[in-house]
Amino acid sequence: MTTAFSENPISHRQELAGDIHRPVFHFLPPNNWMNDPNGLCYFRGRYHLFYQKNPFGPLWGFMHWGHASSPDLIHWQDHPIALAPEDSAGDGLGVFSGCIVDDNGTPTAIYTGVKSIIDTPILAARARDSSLDEWEKIPQNPIIAEKPEGVNSMDFRDPYVWRQDNRWQMVVGAGMSDNDSAVLLYESDDLFSWRYLGPLLKQRSIESVTMWECPNFFPLDDKFVLLVSLYPNTQGIYYYTGNYDGRVFTPESQGYFDSDGILYAPQVRRFPDGRTILFGWLREQRSDEAIEEAGWAGVLSLPRELALDQHGRLVSRPVREYQQLRMPSPKTDHLSLNPGERLILPITGRQVEVGLSVRRGEGSFELGVAASPDETEFTLIGCDPQDGTVLLDTTHSSLSGNVQTGVQMLSLVETDGEEMRLHVLLDGSVIEVWVNETLSLSGRIYPTMADAENLFLRAGNSKVQSLELFAWEMDSIWDF
């Protein structure tokens, strides 16, 4: 079922390589549109990543499952399209999001089929080869034909399946006719016939949210975590952590994961080495016209290892494997800045990692990245060690009128330690910021000027006594 549009991915990658907004160490497809990561799994020594893909153009539509695999979560190889819509299979209008589980050695995809906009059955497909290139949609499809009562006709999708007490369980995202959002729980002995057990969680926590998309439900330390994506999808990812007895989930704490809805529709899996890893979709922040001109849209976050911290927050850090992309000879410095002082950093470029450590209580400062020499374009990461806040300000990141910009903020709490350690990863239009390897912000920036490549530091109104700087240029994950 490999089709013409998946031919020669490397030449598509080469054609787009000159685009300054295109990331080179975050996964994205050869060209055209991508959104959610799907079907994350580890099989015979390789990580496999599937993703929502429109093979026909750079805007959303006619969804397929694209496919890539990696030996190390960082370097990827393109595979042919794995799943394509077929009328006869009950997914003629699209193969929407889902997951993959290992059914006695056979990777099995459980996903949303789009038959019509109000008919979104849950379907399954089984891998037929060890590269996961060939898939067979099973004859028993659909495995869930009807949505339960009370679910809005267009709001039922994104199955997430796991093994629980010697049986299979599944959650599906939903929007309800009483205006609540819900995650619906199912159970099965054989993966193909399912019993509906009722909502795992059902709430109207935020007025403007009409459904929870892409639920993920997984154990982490001694808790269970439920992640939901707040639809309409400008509202980001929300998490609940709590206890689960195999039937009832009792949330204890909750909050936003990451920031302003730029990171969305993540998928989480626990891999054989015990790490629980999340990939998310980093949404474009530019107009459809700008996307059509670019010829591509969508990119994944760096894979992030999840943990619960001492406050019960869901936190993440990029998997250690990305550090192999740091080029030799980092720039390191021990700096102090007088009030208002500005310093150009001895590193430039659009593929950089900057680490900055400072003690709590020091004066505030800003790190500027992707700055043009005349400073008409720049992106700021502001750090206030006194109140423990970090800002990502993209207001001046682009002179183009076709991009959305904004200010995002995160705050440490009192007991988060004596230090603030910032990690800023810039990769073309992607910017990811971590503080203390726990809390994160994600952004997209589109400078128009080819020389918007400078980095600078600027002190606020008081002195910054002591600032440790580490800065690396970052390598590409592609060979060409």
Supply the residues annotated as catalytic: 36
CB of 265 to ligand FRU, least distance (A): 4
* Interaction between residue 64 and ligand FRU (CB under 6 A): no
Question: What is the distance between the alpha carbons of residues 128 and 432, in angstroms, rounded to a whole number?
Answer: 37
Burial class (CB in 10 A: 0-12, 13-18, 19+), 339: exposed
* Interaction between residue 180 and ligand FRU (CB under 6 A): no
Closer CB to ligand FRU, 41 or 265, in the complex: 265
* Interaction between residue 63 and ligand FRU (CB under 6 A): yes
Q: Among 159, 282, 147, 143, which residue's Cα sits nearest to residue 213?
A: 159
Closer CB to ligand FRU, 235 or 476, in the complex: 235
Hey, what amino acid is at 106? Answer: T
* Interaction between residue 366 and ligand FRU (CB under 6 A): no
CB of 184 to ligand FRU, least distance (A): 14
Q: Among 206, 445, 176, 457, which residue's Cα sits nearest to residue 334?
A: 457
Closer CB to ligand FRU, 213 or 305, in the complex: 213
CB of 253 to ligand FRU, least distance (A): 25
| Binding pattern for the stretch 314-333 against ligand FRU, x by CB under 6 A and - elsewhere | --------------------
Pick from 69, 97, 408, 440: which binds ligand FRU (CB under 6 A)? Answer: 97
The H or E element spanning position 364 is none
CB of 151 to ligand FRU, least distance (A): 14
DSSP string, 35-72: EEEEEEEEETTEEEEEEEEETT-SSS-S-EEEEEEESS
> In this structure, are strands 296-297 and 32-43 parallel, antiparallel, or unpaired?
parallel
How far CA 33 is from CA of 60, 76, 188, 300, in Å, comes to 6, 17, 34, 12
* Interaction between residue 265 and ligand FRU (CB under 6 A): yes
* Interaction between residue 213 and ligand FRU (CB under 6 A): yes
Closer CB to ligand FRU, 96 or 279, in the complex: 96
Ramachandran category for residue 102: left, alpha or beta (phi over 0 → left; psi -120 to 50 → alpha)? beta
Pick from 5, 25, 65, 96: which binds ligand FRU (CB under 6 A)? Answer: 96
Q: Among 398, 395, 367, which residue's Cα sits nearest to residue 382?
A: 367
CB of 13 to ligand FRU, least distance (A): 22
* Interaction between residue 112 and ligand FRU (CB under 6 A): yes
Residues 384, 390, 394: CA angle, nearest 5 degrees: 120
Closer CB to ligand FRU, 63 or 471, in the complex: 63
Pick from 158, 377, 384, 393: which binds ligand FRU (CB under 6 A)? Answer: 158
Total binding residues toward ligand FRU, as defined by CB under 6 A: 13
Pick from 12, 75, 79, 157: which binds ligand FRU (CB under 6 A)? Answer: 157
Closer CB to ligand FRU, 125 or 467, in the complex: 125
Closer CB to ligand FRU, 49 or 352, in the complex: 49
CB of 233 to ligand FRU, least distance (A): 6
Question: What is the distance between the alpha carbons of residues 299 and 22, in angstroms, rounded to a whole number?
Answer: 9
The residues, any chain, with a CB within 8 Å of residue 222's CB and separated by 6 or more, are: none
Pick from 214, 226, 237, 467: which binds ligand FRU (CB under 6 A)? Answer: 214
Find residue 439's DSSP bridge partners: 435
* Interaction between residue 36 and ligand FRU (CB under 6 A): yes
Please state the three-class secondary structure of 231-288 as a single string: ECCCCCEEEEEEEECCCCEEEEEEEEECCCCCEEEEEEEECCCCCEEEEEEECCCECH
Maximum pairwise Cα distance, the chain: 71
Q: Which residues bind ligand FRU (CB under 6 A)?
A: 35-36, 52, 63, 96-97, 112, 157-158, 213-214, 233, 265
